[in-house]
Amino acid sequence: MCGIAGAISFREDMRERTAALREMQAVLRRRGPDQQGIVTTTHAGLVHTRLAVIDPEHGRQPMTVERAGERFTIVYNGELYNTAELRHALEAAGETFETRSDTEVVLRAYAVWGAACVERCNGIFAFAVWEHEAERLFLARDRMGVKPLFYHLTDERLVFGSELKAVLAWPDVPHEVDAEGVSQLMLFGPGRSPGCGVFRGIREVKAAQCGHYSRADGLHLWTYWSLRAREHKDSFAQTAEHVRYLVTDAIERQLVSDVPLGTFLSGGLDSSLISSVASRMFQKEGRVLPTFSVDYQGNDKYFKASKFQPNSDPAYIRQMAAYLDTEHHWTVVENDALVQALYTATEARDLPGMADVDASLLLFAGDIRQHVTVALSGECADELFGGYPWYRDPEIRAAYGFPWSQSTAYRMGLLRPEVADVLAARGDVDRAYRATLADTDTLPTDSADAVRMREMMRLNTDWFMQTLLDRKDRMTMWNALEVRVPFCDYRIAEYLYNVPWEMKEHGGYEKGLLREAMRGYLPDEILWRKKSPYPKTHDPAFRTAVTRELEARLADPQAPLWQLVRRDALERLLYGDEDVQWYGQLMTRPQTIAYLLALDWWMVRYAVKVVL
């Protein structure tokens, strides 16, 4: 993985803007510490920071090739999982290769097939290609939105980058948040609306979007892929067999690496399946798989079982590590470190995030990076196979609104009246929810329940999953750790979109189809274990610490958070005991306090100006 950035302007000479380009490169260096490069032409500046994973010696970027009288230069962040197939097809079309890198495959694919190349790619990516003679830029992002790509467009120029901080590093991009941005922070956060960059004027290329920017036509983006409804004709046995193939093939494809590789291991179904498939391949090659787990100081004492998390992970982790005979590593996050990491995690994400869940992953990824450069993780299985409670609970499933964030009224109650009035008039949450339902593809023969399950999958893939992918990318790439998510293979998403719910919930189990399909890979205690989410801290010391931190910041009457929140409402949050679920069970009262703490710090750190 890498960091990419750049600026295109048809009104100035970009060869004279190298200082600004170098600043963009500097803020992305954590994403790519192995090599840096900048290419400038009269109207284009392309920036790259490289984390070398495939062909470390030869895959340097920006990379340029020539074909049919045109020169193409690429900056690319990602991994291509069907490199061999595309290379073979391109060689058949007459292309010859100078490296083993997937970067060159993507670049030559664009040179030969143009924008249609993205439809042939199986991978996680965000990239930009500059056509030197045509003076045209091509931007693209992978189907599932695993790799990020932000941009800022004015009449003067287009500025783009892997992270918000890279776009903000350009001198003319304002650090301002308008009504839309405040709505994102206070009503959607830690999520974001697809395509929204929170800062005024900054947008994000959406998942499965690509497009061109040129002098004549400006910026034109389009969607090249989406989840489409089709009749599912496979029997349950055929469905399970195909799921087994898709899952194992996705995992095996993503084990290709020229640098050390390991897996996350939580003791739950998803990471355990990935670790099991990976371990079998490692054993065939005479290698031992490194696996990695995280826990929190005090959770052994303070963990309390709940509807959402019936048991803790450590015993299951130890069982899986022994079952697979892996080289296992533990990270135990201490409370003091966790609280301080909230600030670093906010800088890594460029926005307030999921509190201790973000901060612990950032610390965890730093430990993992001491052992491997690449790791596989189990995100996205729950969104596709229906593992979350809101899929399975009929009452939650039928409720109006985003099921993991039924807190809009509570959030509005925190706001100053003048801010609440502006956001109420906009109606962003309601509009976004309705738009997602309207964009859900269905069949005329679908029952009302089948339509709702398709809507639930779109809500999850377009919203909740994107929040988790944001978190995974920023927290790990801050540590120059490349994390791959095999369950996010678009082929799995396409197939599962049309599998009936009765099959997904086979035997009455959450993700029953996946469990049945992957029999033989896990001990029964793990295969049939009830879902357990990514762990959060249960130690009351965390709430005490973040409360004190926020009290100290808000002792300043000029603290920026006072521009948004009411004092009485904030005091009830800090000192009350009623149930608070800011973002489902992942963010209850302690995490909500931590979110607001991070928000206040972020507004100072990023010199944010609120313009309602």
Tell me if 292 sits within 8 A of 331, measured CB to CB.
yes
Pairing of strands 176-177, 35-40: unpaired
Task: Please choose, from the candidates 197, 204, 206, the residue with its C-alpha nearest in 3D space to the C-alpha of residue 224.
Answer: 206
pLDDT tens for 252-278 read 999 999 999 999 999 999 999 999 999
Q: What is the CATH T-level fold of the domain 236-297+310-330+343-406+424-527, as seen in this structure? A: Rossmann fold (3.40.50)
**Residue 269 vs residues 44, 510, 522, 527, 533: alpha-carbon distances, Å:** 47, 11, 9, 6, 11
Angular region, 402: left φ>0, alpha ψ -120 to 50, beta rest: beta
Tell me if 78 sits within 8 A of 45, measured CB to CB.
no
- Domain boundaries, given as residue ranges, for the chain: 2-223, 236-297+310-330+343-406+424-527
DSSP class of residue 565?
B
CB atoms within 10 A of CB 16: 11
Q: Which run of H or E residues covers position 382?
A: helix 381-385
Tell me if 179 sits within 8 A of 422, measured CB to CB.
yes
DSSP-derived secondary structure for 101-146: -HHHHHHHHHHHHGGGGGGG--EEEEEEEEETTTTEEEEEE-TT--
Question: Three-class SS of residue 202?
Answer: strand
Q: Which run of H or E residues covers position 249?
A: helix 236-253
CB atoms within 10 A of CB 267: 24
**pLDDT the model gives residue 308:** 57
CA end-to-end span of the chain: 37
- The token duo for 309 is 């998390």
**pLDDT the model gives residue 311:** 60
> How far, in Å, CA of 7 to CA of 255, rounded?
34
Tell me if 601 sits within 8 A of 346, measured CB to CB.
yes
* 488 labelled catalytic: no
Strand order of the sheet with strand 44-50? 35-40, 44-50, 2-8, 158-161, 150-153, 202-204
Tell me if 71 sits within 8 A of 42, measured CB to CB.
no
Task: Tell me if the pTM is above 0.85.
Answer: yes
Task: Report CA 172 to chain centroid distance, whole Å.
Answer: 27
- The token duo for 612 is 């309602």
Tell me if 143 sits within 8 A of 208, measured CB to CB.
yes
> How far, in Å, CA of 201 to CA of 437, rounded?
26
Question: Three-class SS of residue 161?
Answer: strand
- Segments in the chain below pLDDT 50: none
- Amino acid present at 382: D
The CATH H-level (homologous superfamily) assignment of domain 2-223 is: Aminohydrolase, N-terminal nucleophile (Ntn) domain (3.60.20.10)
Residues paired with residue 519 on neighbouring β-strands, in sequence order? none
* From 2, 121, 210, 488, active-site residue: 2
What's the angle, vertex CA 165, arms to CA 201 and CA 372, rounded to 5?
Answer: 140
- The token duo for 536 is 């959060």
**pLDDT the model gives residue 539:** 83
Largest CA distance in the chain: 70
Contacts 24+ apart (CB under 8 A), 109-112: 110/72, 110/74, 110/138, 111/65, 111/67, 111/68, 111/70, 111/72, 112/67
Tell me if 262 sits within 8 A of 290, measured CB to CB.
yes
Tell me if 73 sits within 8 A of 129, measured CB to CB.
yes
Task: Please choose, from the candidates 586, 593, 557, the residue with its C-alpha nearest in 3D space to the C-alpha of residue 572.
Answer: 593
> How far, in Å, CA of 328 to CA of 483, rounded?
17
DSSP class of residue 529?
P
